[in-house]
Amino acid sequence: MNIRTITTVPFSDQKPGTSGLRKSVTAFQKPHYLENFVQSIFDSLENCQGETLVVGGDGRYYNRQATQIILKMAAANGFVRVKVGHRGILSTPAASCVIRKYKTLGGIILSASHNPGGPNGDFGIKYNISNGGPAPEKVTEAIYARSKVIDSYKIIEANDVNLDKLGETKIDNMVVEVIDSVQDYQDLMESLFDFDRIQQLLTGGKFKMCIDSMHAVTGPYAKGIFEQRLGGGVGCVQNGVPLEDFGGGHPDPNLVYAHDLVEIMFGEYAPDFGAASDGDGDRNMILGNKFFVTPSDSLAILAANARLVPGYAQGLSGIARSMPTSQAADRVAAKLGIDCYETPTGWKFFGNLMDADKVTLCGEESFGTGSNHIREKDGLWAVLFWLNILASRQQSVEEIVKEHWQIYGRNYYSRHDYEEVDSQRANTLVNNVQAAMPNLKGKKFGSYEVEYSDNFSYTDPVDGSVSTNQGIRIGFTDGSRIVFRLSGTGTQGATLRLYLESFTGDVAKQNVETQEALGDLVRIAEEIAQIRENTGMDKPTVIT
Ligand code: VG1
Ligand code: CO
Helices (H), 77-170: 92-101, 137-147
Do both 233 and 351 map to the same domain? yes
Question: Taking a C-beta distance cutoff of 8 angstroms, is the pair 349, 467 a contact?
Answer: yes
pLDDT in tens, the chain (544 residues): 689 999 999 999 999 998 899 999 999 999 999 999 999 999 999 899 999 999 999 999 999 999 999 999 999 999 999 999 999 999 999 999 999 999 999 999 999 999 999 999 999 999 999 999 999 989 999 999 999 999 999 999 999 999 999 999 999 999 999 999 999 999 999 999 999 999 999 999 999 999 999 999 999 999 999 999 999 988 899 999 999 999 998 999 999 999 999 999 999 999 999 999 999 999 999 999 999 999 999 999 999 999 999 999 999 999 999 999 999 999 999 999 999 999 999 998 999 999 999 999 999 999 999 999 999 999 999 999 999 999 999 999 999 999 999 999 999 999 999 999 999 999 999 999 999 888 889 999 999 999 999 999 999 999 999 999 999 999 999 999 999 999 988 788 899 999 999 999 999 999 999 999 999 999 999 999 999 988 989 999 999 9
Domain span including residue 317: 185-408
The best mutation among 92, 252, 366 to test binding of ligand 1, ranked by most ligand atoms within 8 Å of the C-beta, falls on: 366
Question: Could you list the active site residues?
Answer: 113
The best mutation among 345, 375, 498 to test binding of ligand 1, ranked by most ligand atoms within 8 Å of the C-beta, falls on: 345
Which residue, of 356, 387, 408, is where some domain finishes?
408
Of all protein residues, the one whose alpha carbon is nearest to atom 16 of ligand 1 is 487
Return the CATH number at 426. Answer: 3.30.310.50
Rounded to the nearest 5°, which phi and psi values hold at 369? -140, 150
**What does DSSP assign to residue 392?**
H
Which of 130, 193, 544 shows the shortest CA–CA distance to 366? 544
Do both 414 and 402 map to the same domain? no
Query: What is the value of pTM for the model shown?
Result: 0.94
How far apart are alpha carbons 454 and 155 in whole angstroms?
47
Do both 397 and 416 map to the same domain? no
Evaluate the CA torsion angle 225, 230, 231, 237 in order and state its sign: negative
Q: Return the exposure string of 396-408: e unless at least 16 CB atoms fall within 10 Å of the residue's CB, then b.
A: bbbebbbebbeeb
Residue 172 CB contacts under 8 Å (≥ 6 apart), including other chains: 1, 2, 75, 156, 158
Collapsed DSSP state (helix, strand, coil) of residue 271: coil
- Distance from Cα 19 to the centre of ligand 2, integer Å: 9
Angle made by CA atoms 214, 181, 47, in degrees to the nearest 5: 115
Which residue, of 408, 426, 461, is where some domain finishes?
408
- Distance from Cα 12 to the centre of ligand 1, integer Å: 23
Domain count for the chain: 3
Question: Counting atoms of ligand 1 from 1, which one is nearest the CA of 365?
Answer: 9
Which of 96, 98, 40, 48 shows the shortest CA–CA distance to 75? 48
Number of H helices, E strands in the chain: 18, 27
Question: Counting atoms of ligand 1 from 1, which one is nearest the CA of 322?
Answer: 9
Do both 253 and 357 map to the same domain? yes
Beta strands (DSSP E) in 100-213 are 106-110, 122-128, 152-156, 167-171, 174-179, 209-212
Of all protein residues, the one whose alpha carbon is nearest to atom 13 of ligand 1 is 487
Which pLDDT does position 354 carry in this prediction? 97
Counting ligands in written order, the one closest to the CA of 499 is: 1
- DSSP letter for each residue of 33-53: HHHHHHHHHHHHSS--TT-EE
Angle made by CA atoms 182, 183, 187, in degrees to the nearest 5: 120
- Distance from Cα 544 to the centre of ligand 1, integer Å: 13
In what side-by-side order are the strands of the sheet with 444-445? 444-445, 448-455, 472-476, 481-486, 494-504, 410-421, 542-543
Do both 171 and 213 map to the same domain? no
Distances (CA, A) of 379 to 184, 221, 283, 514: 16, 11, 5, 24
Element at 444 (helix H, strand E): strand 444-445
How far apart are alpha carbons 402 and 47 in whole angstroms?
52
Residue 54 CB contacts under 8 Å (≥ 6 apart), including other chains: 82, 83, 84, 90, 95, 98, 99, 102, 104, 106, 107, 108, 128
Which of 341, 196, 350, 199 shows the shortest CA–CA distance to 282? 350
Question: Counting atoms of ligand 1 from 1, which one is nearest the CA of 280?
Answer: 18
Which pLDDT does position 135 carry in this prediction? 94
Do both 214 and 116 map to the same domain? no
Element at 188 (helix H, strand E): helix 183-192
Collapsed DSSP state (helix, strand, coil) of residue 123: strand
Other residues' Cβ atoms within 10 Å of the Cβ of residue 245: 15
User: What type of residue sits at position 472?
Assistant: I
- Distance from Cα 162 to the centre of ligand 1, integer Å: 33
Do both 212 and 79 map to the same domain? no
How far apart are alpha carbons 499 and 385 in whole angstroms?
26
**Euclidean distance between the first and the last CA atom of the chain, given in angstroms as a whole number:** 53
Collapsed DSSP state (helix, strand, coil) of residue 21: strand
- Distance from Cα 113 to the centre of ligand 2, integer Å: 4
Do both 149 and 202 map to the same domain? no
Other residues' Cβ atoms within 10 Å of the Cβ of residue 337: 7
Of all protein residues, the one whose alpha carbon is nearest to atom 8 of ligand 1 is 366
Helix axes 183-192, 379-393, angle to 10 degrees: 30
Return the CATH number at 302. Answer: 3.40.120.10
Question: Counting atoms of ligand 1 from 1, which one is nearest the CA of 111?
Answer: 20
**What does DSSP assign to residue 375?**
S
Question: Counting atoms of ligand 1 from 1, which one is nearest the CA of 282?
Answer: 18
Which residue, of 159, 181, 203, is where some domain finishes?
181
Do both 522 and 388 map to the same domain? no
Give the pocket of ligand 1 (CB within 6 Å): 18-19, 113-114, 278, 282-283, 322, 345-347, 364, 366, 368, 487-489, 497
Do both 234 and 359 map to the same domain? yes
- Distance from Cα 114 to the centre of ligand 1, integer Å: 9
Do both 158 and 189 map to the same domain? no
Of all protein residues, the one whose alpha carbon is nearest to atom 1 of ligand 1 is 489
How far apart are alpha carbons 389 and 136 in whole angstroms?
33
Which pLDDT does position 1 carry in this prediction? 66
Do both 231 and 324 map to the same domain? yes
